[in-house]
């Protein structure tokens, strides 16, 4: 059984953590004793409520960074402000659904920039502290789309396949320095990101909302249910534990059997 405060004294930075998977992971790390830096978009009052609630619920420090994941300087500043990043969770991501020959170029470039290039900048900024400490955990929240493809998602699939490659490469570089680097690949989790792509998928495929959920989103998941945020958070928590010290360079699915096909 994992002690509830095994991460006491550690600092965790979680990008895209004002809602959804990222918030679930941030709360789980705080519950285990880590000081956390949350980051993401949203109403300022609501974000302050989220930040304060983490401190109240878990008795640990929580800081909010408004860093823009499209801006490398702001990403570096977020890591520097943390005062030493022991755990980095690259979770921020965006999605857009379109046939490739109609895909807006600015949307394609933004997806690659936020989903793939931003993790590179965050990893680069976080590694010096981890190397000096002789300990670190880097978790990239990828997707089942890092392992398999779906139509109309060329940018997202390309970005997540890139995250898988980045994960493996960095893991090999730092394997002897007490730092693990892994990618978690969720299937469909009911989050604002998933919900927001339903109208685009309806338009692209000429389907109803119910058809998109049942025949597209959950069609490939044999469990026929959405992965839960708490399940992904628990997986991330395990990867931060001593029990996962020999797991590195892994691209790990949590997708209800999707990639078993």
Active site residue ranges: 156
* H/E element, 133: helix 118-133
Q: Note whether 14 and 89 are within 8 A (CB).
A: yes
Structure tokens at 90: 């690259």
Residue 185's SS3 state is strand
- Compute the half-sphere exposure of residue 91: CA atoms within 13 Å on the CB side of its CA: 30
- Report CA torsion sign: 28, 29, 33, 35: negative
| Rounded Cα distance, 86 and 91, in Å | 16
Q: What is the DSSP letter of 189?
A: B
Q: What is the DSSP string of 85-97?
A: -SEEEE-------
C-alpha distance across the termini of the chain, in Å = 33
Q: Note whether 258 and 222 are within 8 A (CB).
A: yes
| Rounded Cα distance, 84 and 251, in Å | 26
């Amino acid at each position: 059984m994992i002690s509830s405060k095994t991460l006491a004294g550690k600092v965790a930075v979680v990008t895209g953590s004002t809602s959804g998977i990222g918030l679930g992971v941030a709360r789980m790390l705080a519950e285990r004793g880590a000081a956390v830096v949350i980051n993401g978009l949203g109403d300022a009052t609501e974000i302050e409520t989220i930040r304060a609630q983490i401190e109240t619920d878990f008795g640990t420090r929580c800081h909010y960074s408004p860093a823009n994941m499209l801006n490398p300087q702001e990403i570096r500043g977020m890591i520097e402000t943390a005062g030493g990043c022991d755990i980095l969770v690259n979770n921020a991501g965006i999605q857009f659904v379109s046939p490739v020959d109609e895909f807006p170029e600015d949307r394609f470039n933004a997806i690659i920039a936020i989903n793939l290039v931003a993790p590179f900048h965050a990893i680069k900024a976080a590694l010096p502290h981890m190397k000096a400490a002789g300990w670190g955990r880097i978790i990239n929240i990828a997707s089942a789309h890092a392992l398999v493809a779906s139509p109309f998602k060329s940018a997202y699939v390309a970005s997540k396949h890139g995250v898988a490659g980045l994960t493996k490469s960095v893991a090999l570089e730092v394997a002897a320095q007490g730092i693990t680097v892994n990618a978690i690949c969720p299937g469909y989790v009911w989050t604002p990101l998933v919900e927001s792509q339903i109208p685009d998928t309806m338009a692209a495929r000429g389907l109803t909302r119910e058809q998109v959920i049942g025949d597209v989103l959950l069609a490939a998941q044999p469990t026929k249910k959405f992965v839960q945020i708490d399940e992904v958070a628990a997986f991330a928590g395990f990867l931060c534990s001593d029990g996962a010290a020999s797991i590195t360079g892994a691209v790990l699915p949590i997708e209800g059997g999707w990639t078993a096909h």
